[in-house]
Chain A
C-alpha cells in the first residue's frame, strides 16, 4: 500500500520543509516490516535533522536492493550485470558480463548493438570500457508499472597531480627493492 514519506516521520514544524522537494514528493511501496526495520535503523542514528533522517531511511531501503530512487519513480531491479567491453566496431560491441545479482553464475559473453545505446553513451564504447546493465520494473505516481532496460557506461575521473606525485615516490621505493637500474 503506497505510503507517503511524510507519514514516516513525526509530524511537526520543519519536518518536510527542509527536505529536498524531490524527496518530499516521493511515494514508496514497501511492507510494514520493511518500514519498521528501516525506521529502527534510522532511530539509532545520531543525526536528527529531518533531511538526514530521510536520507538515511532512503539509503536503508535502497540497501535491501529492492527499491532504488529515481526521480519520482520506483525501480525494482530484477537483473544487474557489470560488463567490460571486449571488442567493438561501428555497429556493435561484445562484452563480458558478470551477474551482480547472482555472483555464483558464470560470466557470459554478449554482443549488443550500438543503436540500443543513448547518444551520450556511444562515444564511451571502447575496449576495456565498463558499464552496468539494469533490467527491472519501474512504476510511479503518474505511470503504471512497466519493465525497463538501462545500460550506462562508467565515467572515470582524471588523474590528479597529487596522485601522480605520490605514485612516483612509491615507484622509486619499489625500483630500489627490485634492483631497477634508473640510468
Chain B
C-alpha cells in the first residue's frame, strides 16, 4: 500500500469497506479528487475519505472537486454531511429523485423530529439538505441521471459519466416516496429510505487514458428483468456505444457481489479481458455468499474483498463481556459477529496504460480463479 499521494499523471481508485459501509476515493490526475459515497472509520467515527486523504498529504478542502452519493442507504451515506462540510470546494451529486419534491418533503418532516436521530439515512440526508440550504449556494449541488457527465477532458480521455439511474427508475423512486408520504394519525415508520432504492443508484464509468473502471455502486436488477431499470437499462440503451466508453480493466462489483447485482452481458460488453474485481462485504446480509464469490472469481483475473465476508471467522479484536452477560448471549443468540471493527482498503494506482499497482491492507481477502481459493 502506497502511503503518499499519487503523482499528477497517475490515477487512483481506493475502495474502503469496514464490513457494513462503502466509500471510493478517486484521483483523476493533477491533484484532483472525487469521492463516491461515504462510510466511517471504525476507530475515530470520522469519514474515512477525509482521514485517508489527510494521511497521504491531500488537502480535502481544496482538492476534492466532487462528492457523489449514489443512493441514500445507510452504508453509503454515513458521514456524508461531515464530508460535504469539510470538502468546501466539492459539488454534491445525487440521483435526481433525491432532490425531488417528495424527497424534500420527507426531509422537512424529519427536520425537528426527535425520533429521526435513530434513522441514520434520513438524519444524514436531512443534515445535508439543510446545510446546502444554509449556504445558499445553488451551484454546490447537481442532479444525476444516466449519461450525466461529471468531468470530461477529451484530449486526455479523462472522463467520468453516470450509467444510471434511468428515467424510469427515477420516476419509480419519486412515485414510491409519494406513496409513502405519511398522513396525520399514521404511526412513524423506521427505515425511511425505501428498501428498493438500489434501482435508483448511480453506477459510474471512469476513464483515465487507456485505463477504465466500472463502478457498480448497489445497482441491481429487478426480479422480472425490467429493461427500463437497473443494468438491463444500461445494456438496452447501449450506453457504452453511445457514450464511446472504453473497455474497463477494473470492476467495483455491484451490490456487494449479490446475485441481484449481476448481469451477464455487463461482463461481456464492458470488459475486453477478465478484470480485476473489487467489492466491499455487507455483513448484515452475509454478502457476498460463497456462490457469489465463485461466480465472480471465475469471471475475474482476481477478486478482492475489503474484509472477510464470512462471519464464522473469529474477529481479531474480540469483544469482552462479563461472564453473566455471555451466558445470556449464549442462551439467546444463535449467530453473532462483530461489525465494522476494522477498516478494509484496496488501493489501485494506474497510468494511462493501465494498472501499475494493487495494494491491499491485511484485512482484505483475495480470491483467484486458479485454485478458487481464499488468499489472505
B108 close to chain A: CB less than 8 A? yes
- Cβ of B283 and Cβ of A106 under 8 Å apart? no
Residue B317 lies at the interface, judged by CB distance under 8 Å to chain A: yes
Instruction: Pick out which of these stretches binds chain A: B219-227, B237-245, B299-307, B320-328.
Output: B320-328
Cβ of B105 within 8 Å of any chain A Cβ, yes or no, is yes
A171 to chain B: which residues have CB within 8 Å? Answer: 101, 104-105, 107-109
Neighbour of B333 across the interface among A105, A111, A128, A180, CB < 8 A: A111
Chain A residues near B183 (CB, 8 Å)? Answer: 159, 164
Q: Known: A116-B332, A127-B191. Contact between A78 and B129, CB under 8 A?
A: no
Q: Which one of A5-13, A44-52, A53-61, A86-94 is at the interface?
A: A86-94
Q: How many residues of B contact A (CB 8 A)?
A: 55
* A130 with B334, Cβ < 8 A, contacts A87-B285, A147-B324, A161-B184 known: no
From B247-255, B335-343, B363-371, the one touching the partner chain is B335-343
Number of A-B contacts (CB under 8 A): 146
Interface SS majority for chain A: mixed
A residues 126-183 near B (Cβ < 8 Å) are 126-130, 135, 137, 147, 149, 156-161, 163-164, 167-171, 173-175, 177-180, 182
CB of A108 within 8 A of chain B?
yes
A96 touches B339 (CB 8 A): yes
Assess the B339–A107 pair: CB atoms within 8 A: yes
Q: Is the CB of B101 within 8 A of A109?
A: no
Contact residue among B113, B132, B136, B336 (Cβ-Cβ distance under 8 Å from A108) = B336
Contact present for A168 and B188 (CB under 8 Å): no
Kindly state whether residue A113 has any CB partner on chain B within 8 Å: yes
- The answer to whether A3 has its CB under 8 Å from any CB of chain B is no
Check B100 for interface membership: any CB of A closer than 8 A: yes
Q: How far is the CB of A83 from chain B (nearest CB, A)?
A: 11
- B115 close to A (CB within 8 Å): yes
B316 vs chain A, min Cβ distance (A): 11
| B contact residues around A126 at 8 Å (CB) | 190
B154 at interface, CB cutoff 8 A: no
Q: Number of A interface residues at 8 Å Cβ cutoff, please give it.
A: 49
Q: Is the CB of B115 within 8 A of A109?
A: no
Please judge, given known A-B contacts A78-B325, A159-B186, whether A175 and B101 are in contact too, CB under 8 Å.
yes
Nearest Cβ distance between residue A94 and chain B, in whole angstroms?
A: 7
Q: Tell me which residues from 167 to 200 in chain B have a Cβ below 8 Å from any Cβ of chain A.
A: 182-191, 195
A156 surroundings in chain B (CB, below 8 A) = 115, 187-188, 190
At the interface, yes or no: B99 with Cβ under 8 Å from chain A? yes
Q: Shortest Cβ distance from A23 into chain B, in angstroms?
A: 28
**Does residue B52 face the partner (Cβ distance < 8 Å to A)?**
no
Query: With A and B bound together, what is the CA distance between A178 and B138 in angstroms?
Result: 7
B268 touches A (CB below 8 Å): no
| B99 cross-chain contacts in A, Cβ below 8 A | 178, 180
Check A135/B328 contact, CB under 8 A, given A78-B322, A79-B321.
Answer: yes
Alpha-carbon distance A96/B138, docked complex (angstroms)? 37
Chain A residue contacts of B100, Cβ below 8 A: 180
Contact B335 A158 (CB under 8 A): no
Q: Are A159 and B334 in contact (CB under 8 A)?
A: no
Q: Which residues of A contact B333 (CB under 8 A)?
A: 110-112
Chain A contact residues, CB within 8 Å of chain B: 78-79, 84, 86-87, 92, 94, 96, 99, 105-113, 116, 126-130, 135, 137, 147, 149, 156-161, 163-164, 167-171, 173-175, 177-180, 182
Known: A105-B319, A147-B328. 20 other contacts (CB 8 A): A78-B325, A79-B321, A84-B190, A87-B285, A106-B339, A108-B338, A110-B335, A110-B336, A112-B334, A113-B332, A126-B190, A135-B328, A149-B328, A156-B187, A158-B186, A163-B184, A171-B108, A174-B104, A175-B101, A182-B101
By Cβ-Cβ distance, the 10 closest A-B pairs, closest first, are A128-B190, A128-B191, A170-B108, A106-B341, A156-B188, A171-B108, A167-B109, A111-B335, A171-B105, A161-B184
User: 22 A-B Cβ contacts within 8 A?
Assistant: A78-B324, A84-B118, A86-B285, A108-B319, A108-B338, A109-B336, A111-B334, A111-B336, A126-B190, A127-B190, A128-B190, A130-B190, A135-B325, A147-B328, A156-B115, A159-B109, A159-B185, A163-B184, A169-B108, A171-B109, A178-B138, A180-B101
